Copies of this chain bind each other. A is one copy, B any other.
Amino acid sequence: MDEEIDAMPLKRSTWTEDAGASRAVALEVLRNGPLSRSEVARRLALSPGSLTRLSTPLIRAGLLREVGETSGGRVGRPSQLIDVVPNAQAFAGLKLRDDRVMGVITDLRAQVHKSAERPLTSQEPEAVADSIRDLVDELGAEWKHPTAIGIGLGGRLAAHRMVRSAAFLGWDDVPLAELVEQRTGLPTILENDVVAFTEYEHWFGAGRGLSRFAVVTLGAGIGYGLVANDAVVADEDHGIGLVGHWPLDPFGPVCSEGHRGCAKSILTEGAIVTALSGALGRPVTYEEAMDLGEAGEPAARRVLDDAGEGLGRLLAAIANLTMPECIVLGGEGVRLASVAREAVERGIAKDRDPRTRKLDLVIRSGSDTEWCRGAAVLAIQSFVLGARMAA
């Protein structure tokens, strides 16, 4: 029972003490930007009187504030917009890789204020937790000390606290959240990196206000996330390659596990680099492959168009089975989707009934901070929703 490490006392705070209508008002304003009281009342099916009663204490507590009024145009008294005070709290969002940990510090709306990273000198859990503490300290000193920490990583997790398995670190059953909490004294939430990215899009990104959308990330592997009926769909299988070996091209190359033309053998950075390096007879980087493709170099064009079409077929499959209102594309390798946009559309058309609604694609920048921002959203959610995350 006695701790080896001098664990810092864990600081837990909650946003609203009330978990009922008061929190619902605060959440609605947090997620849907500045809103008038009457608009919030409409959305939550509350009376105008109730809205005054609920919003006043939130404003007095410094959680919300009035930020001006609607630019008229309509008859009647203009409405006062209320909004959260985003800088009241800071959150740390980290992404763990095999060789480094990257992090950002954000406000309550997951806007990034600073970012930084540290190399990992060792993959030992304790050493990694030390690096995380140092990174969080650095980020906190640069802007504001965070209220909570979210950590995203590619792997399977248990109860937001335990790394069940993470092949890229060689980890099994590592209590990472606890290690970090001991060192920082801050509540820490773990989540699969793709799920975290999906939560960002859900709360503050392209999926805001949508009841259904999907996320696909490109990079070293293929990631997949789903929101349906206004909540993320995830189970313990998340973090296993659910779509990594998706069959796309019966005549494609063979992947490491013997699948011919699976997503991994066509869409990943490694697959594209390998294919183009082989074709050109010299090693090329991923960025170089993209540049060549954009410039119209024939071999690159062919490799990227094949990949793009494969991506399109994967997107069509997702659209057919989950009926999303939108698909968000992200990840370090997402440039493929822009460079081979036409091939992507061609691939979608191949497997999708022409009578269906056109598929709405949103392409993100692919920067590393997007992963971190996703992790920060987890921290934000654990703070504003209180114990509901505990499961």
Q: Tell me the A247-269 residues at the B interface (CB within 8 Å).
A: 247, 250-251
Closest B residue by C-beta to A314: B321
Shortest distance from the beta carbon of A376 to any chain B beta carbon, whole Å: 24
Contact A245 B351 (CB under 8 A): yes
A80 to chain B, nearest CB (A): 31
Question: Chain B nearest CB: distance from A152 CB in Å?
Answer: 19
- Judged by a CB distance under 8 angstroms, whether A373 is at the interface is no
Q: Is the CB of A322 within 8 A of B320?
A: no
Docked complex Cα distance between A236 and B321 (Å): 14
Partner of A250, one of B224, B250, B351: B250
User: A residues 128-145 with Cβ under 8 Å of B?
Assistant: none
Q: Which of A219-256 contact B (CB under 8 A)?
A: 224, 226, 228-231, 233-238, 240-247, 250-251
On whether the beta carbons of B224 and A321 are closer than 8 Å, the reply is yes
Decide: B237 and A212 in contact? CB cutoff 8 A: no
Nearest-neighbour CB distance to chain B for A13, whole angstroms, equals 25
Number of interface residues of A (CB under 8 A): 36
A242 is contacted by which of B226, B233, B251, B320 (Cβ under 8 Å)? B320
Does the CB pair A356–B321 fall under 8 Å?
Answer: no
Q: Does chain B have a CB within 8 A of A355?
A: yes
B229/A233 in contact, CB under 8 A: yes
Are A317 and B321 in touch, CB under 8 angstroms?
Answer: yes
Which B residues touch A231, using CB under 8 A?
Answer: 229
B residues in contact with A43, CB < 8 Å: none
Q: How far is the CA of A228 from the CA of B229 in the complex (A)?
A: 7
A99 on interface, CB distance cutoff 8 Å: no
A357 at interface by CB-CB < 8 Å: yes
Task: Report whether B229 and A356 are in contact in the complex, using a CB–CB cutoff of 8 Å.
Answer: no
Residues of B within 8 A of A212 (CB): 233, 235
Contact flag A236-B357 (CB < 8 Å), given A228-B229, A229-B230:
yes
Do B353 and A323 touch (CB < 8 A)? no
Is A318 in the interface zone, CB < 8 Å from B?
yes
Known A240-B353, A351-B247, A353-B240: A234·B322 in contact at CB below 8 Å = no
Contacts of A236 in B (CB 8 A): 357
Residues of chain B within 8 A of A246, CB atoms compared? 317, 320, 351
B-chain residues with CB within 8 Å of residue A325 when the two chains form the complex: 235
| B323 A233 Cβ-Cβ under 8 A | yes
Cβ distance A259 to chain B, nearest Cβ, rounded Å: 9
Contact A243 B320 (CB under 8 A): yes
- List 13 additional A-B contacts (Cβ < 8 Å) besides A233-B323, A235-B325, A238-B323: A212-B235, A228-B233, A233-B322, A235-B357, A237-B323, A241-B353, A242-B323, A242-B353, A250-B250, A250-B251, A317-B317, A318-B321, A321-B321
Chain A positions within 8 Å of B, measured between CB atoms, are: 212, 224, 226, 228-231, 233-238, 240-247, 250-251, 313, 317-318, 320-323, 325, 351, 353, 355-357
- In the complex, the 6 A-B pairs of residues with the closest C-beta atoms, listed nearest first: A250-B250, A228-B228, A229-B229, A229-B231, A242-B320, A237-B356
Q: List 22 A-B contacts (CB under 8 A).
A: A212-B233, A226-B322, A228-B228, A228-B229, A228-B233, A229-B233, A233-B323, A234-B323, A237-B353, A237-B355, A237-B356, A237-B357, A240-B356, A241-B353, A242-B321, A242-B356, A243-B321, A244-B353, A245-B353, A246-B351, A250-B251, A321-B322
